[in-house]
Amino acid sequence: MNILFIRVAADQSSGGGYWNGPVDGRTNEFAYVAIPEQVETHAGLEKPYETLAPALARFGVSLPGHLRAGHMHLDPDFDHLTYGDSGRKAAQIRSTLGQGDYAVFYAGLKDVRGGAGLVYAIIGLLEVHQVVRATSIPPEDRDVNAHARRVLRPGAEDVIVRGRPGASGRLARCLPIGDYRDRAYRVRRDLLEEWGELTANDGYLQRSARMPLLVEPLRFLDWFRRQSPTLLQRNN
């Protein structure tokens, strides 16, 4: 079994929209805010940021002006239990994930109750049902994932992971996993002791070209199940 750790959602990078979605540090409830879409999508399949207004209002925040009129690259898409990627990450997914493996999603969130740092937390996961090429998705089903919504060139290598219903979804309450040490956000040392190591230097959580794997995936799954997570098949 393989478990791939994948960083997602809006963040302070140029590709991430220079913003972080909110979390309530007391309850661990959060709003899932995706990164901006920067590639042409098929007409009618756009995902406007403005649709997030009700979810954000629960936390007393609103989108910054530079995102408000834009569209999201809604990926993962928990409504459809999918995740897509391209380039080297698509190649890593193809070589790493198969039926019964897991894609675990984490994000850097901003605590609405204050604090200077970010809350790095697991926000959802997919138990892999299958991995398919985005170009294999028929036109009538393109709304299942951001990479199928894109106008792709023939032969594009983008892949889409489909999750197994009932074992996949967005967490109702995120699971904080990170702290700031040695000049970077990393998985807390107490969790590394419970999970075993990741294939990332000392649990490094900030963006990198290669997504880390859990070295001892069964230990992580045992920990995850002991958190009694509630999985939702919806984005917000």
Per-residue pLDDT of 77-129, as tens digits, reads 999 999 999 999 999 999 999 999 999 999 999 999 998 899 999 999 999 99
* pLDDT at site 201: 87
* pLDDT at site 235: 98
146 contacts: CB under 8 Å, gap ≥ 6 = 34, 37, 41, 47, 72, 73, 74, 75, 77, 84
* pLDDT at site 208: 75
Q: Place 8 in a pLDDT band, splitting at 50, 70 and 90.
A: very high
* pLDDT at site 71: 98
Beta bridge partners of 160: 84, 132
Residue 149 C-beta-side C-alpha neighbours within 13 Å: 25
* pLDDT at site 173: 98
With contact defined as beta carbons under 8 Å apart, do 75 and 147 qualify?
Answer: yes
Q: Residue 215 has which token pair?
A: 């070295």
* pLDDT at site 154: 82
Q: Place 223 in a pLDDT band, splitting at 50, 70 and 90.
A: very high
Give this prediction's pTM: 0.97
By percentage, how much of the chain surpasses pLDDT 70? Answer: 100
Main-chain phi, psi angles of 52, to 5 degrees: -85, -5
Q: Place 24 in a pLDDT band, splitting at 50, 70 and 90.
A: very high
Q: Residue 178 has which token pair?
A: 């990170």
Nearest partner of 82 among 119, 31, 48, 133, judged by Cα? 133
Nearest partner of 162 among 139, 131, 134, judged by Cα? 131
Q: Residue 157 has which token pair?
A: 């290598």
With contact defined as beta carbons under 8 Å apart, do 169 and 158 qualify?
Answer: no
